[in-house]
Structure 1
């Protein structure tokens, strides 16, 4: 290490060399008393040495919480999001799915979890300026066969769904060539896939999104009720591996999860029911919940009859369309909120609801705002 490049007193440099300290990393790893004992320097010189080395090694400038709140944070990667392919759902999620961390989509059967995941696999292939990552995705199926026919339909209707993107850009993307499908049936195969195969695709830049559908089906057939400790360790191991891949390659991880049965009144205080007070809980328990960055819960709500909601609000969709709802259960950067969406042949689309008084609300229901205000008061 060339210590003379640092703004240090020659006496300090000589003491550091005499102590046989070879790098700045060694200095930062030593406490003040230990460094003072090795170099025989004064406490003031040791503090200045620590400060000088810390300034020389830092790679990013310091920012305040106010700068981060105002979107002035100079870390562009942390501010980037993967678009959901719908501006209304992106508004709900603060721009889309975070690039680093595990996002869980949990819900009952036929709530639209797989449809959302397939749309994300297409959205990640768009250029960055349109909310994508200009790369592919890997889709890991653990239970059912991959719905390839539905994927082809979504690809065909991408120009209609993504009207914000120029047609020539959409037509130049070979969506089907950039989605890698993997079927795994047991924990051992899944572990091999995470540790060997996916890192190769990520390191080569072929993918920037990993979808696991579903994580609950994978461990449900491997562990019984008496294997709770072993199952918890397995989930922690998978969570650590997924976090490592996500942060190393700046790629979002989407995990589909299932829900348990009805929750009794005695357990409501300890459950994560969100704003809608559902009596179902995500599977896999607290161990898996601690691995997640964000949890989204989706469900079917009701059928649009004669162009109106049962509550009397006008529906923008066609008669007979099933209305679904997406809710943010927890996220470090977002409040609890929800919005309605539909699934048609074009894909997953958030709903712009028009109330009876003529006001329009995009992405967030009135109940959400009232509940947040009530809690804050």
Structure 2
């Protein structure tokens, strides 16, 4: 989409967005069309007044906002949204009976589902089991973006073996088939993540490759947190961009997205999801995971946020 484009890519079609205009934008930490969304229009115009060609700069600013306006999708009425949900958005089992029960079926296409919890609460185990289960039971591909070297083919093979008769000679063939259906990318910064998300959107639009059923990002917060903080807005804009792309992928292409997020200290020592208030509106579903104990191998999963299920509902899952 045009909103995501770097400013330089727009110069051919929009001559006002020349090198001088881009230099002005860079001085305000604006590098893409989308970065304008986190800036105040009047403040930008006031800053432009201080430059040698204020009228041209203000024309360029107006051009950017007209691009944004032209890209807005048409309004959909409630019946269209209901038909889309019923006809195009399937529910995928997460491979954990307790989580499927908690979510009344499992992970939903069109939703970004976020697992929030401290280290060792079982978030990665849920991601690996979900990847193994979807790859085994649904046609298509699972994409797994690994930011912490936590992707374990051996663990996935264990999950597959647990759900099969060990004496069954077909187990190895199943493992091989499932492994071929899971595509793992190791990514260690937000820029690589954004590049891969853009590639996925382009592949969907050009219908390249097999259908992707599930996208796992473990852990999303470790990619975003390093660019946040300080007095600038660039990191915040990158986070907004990532959230926008994830929601577009989920809704427009009927993709099920599962991401993990860590927790930070809040008021009174109570832990809360990382990435702040701006991020919390991005995931459709937020699940909080916490370990019951160091020895019993069980985790508690509760609903923090859901479009139509009550918050606070809790289930126990056994991390084997």
TM-score w.r.t. the length of structure 2 is 0.66
Distance 1:198 1:210, change over 3 A: farther
For the residues of structure 2 that align with 1:221 and 1:300, how far apart are their CA atoms? 26
Distance 1:302 1:149, change over 3 A: same
Task: Pick from 274, 278, 297 the counterpart of residue 322 of structure 1.
Answer: 297
1:99 aligns with 2:109: yes
C-alpha deviation, 1:338, in angstroms:
0.5
Does the 8 Å contact 1:325/1:338 carry over to 2? yes
Task: Provide the residue aligned with 2:50 in structure 1.
Answer: none
Write the deviation string for residues 13-65 of structure 1: whole angstroms up to 9, x where unpaired.
xxxxxxxxxxxxxxxxxxxxxxxxxxxxxxxxxxxxxxxxxxxxxx999499x
1:113 aligns with 2:123: yes
Task: Pick from 228, 243, 247 the counterpart of residue 243 of structure 1.
Answer: 247
Structure 1: runs of 5+ lacking an equivalent: 1-58, 128-132, 266-278, 304-319, 345-377
1:298 aligns with 2:289: yes
Task: Provide the residue aligned with 1:130 in structure 2.
Answer: none
C-alpha deviation, 1:149, in angstroms:
2.3
Q: Figure out how many residues of one structure are paired with residues of the other and give that number.
A: 240
Task: Provide the residue aligned with 1:196 in structure 2.
Answer: 199
Task: Provide the residue aligned with 1:83 in structure 2.
Answer: 93
Task: Provide the residue aligned with 1:146 in structure 2.
Answer: 151
Write out aligned runs for 1:1-377 (5 A). 62=79, 75-78=86-89, 80-127=90-137, 133-159=138-164, 174-197=177-200, 199-200=202-203, 203=207, 204-227=209-232, 229-264=233-268, 279-302=270-293, 320-336=295-311, 337-344=313-320
TM-score w.r.t. the length of structure 1 is 0.57
C-alpha deviation, 1:76, in angstroms:
3.2
Distance 1:208 1:298, change over 3 A: same
Distance 1:339 1:60, change over 3 A: same
Compute the RMSD of aligned alpha carbons.
3.3
Write the deviation string for residues 303-341 of structure 1: whole angstroms up to 9, x where unpaired.
6xxxxxxxxxxxxxxxx5222100010101211201111
| Secondary structure, counterpart of 2:222 in structure 1 | helix
Write the deviation string for residues 178-215 of structure 1: whole angstroms up to 9, x where unpaired.
11110111122111111125653793224211111111
Does the 8 Å contact 1:297/1:326 carry over to 2? yes
Structure 2: runs of 5+ lacking an equivalent: 1-75
* Bigger-Rg structure (1/2): 1
Distance 1:250 1:169, change over 3 A: farther
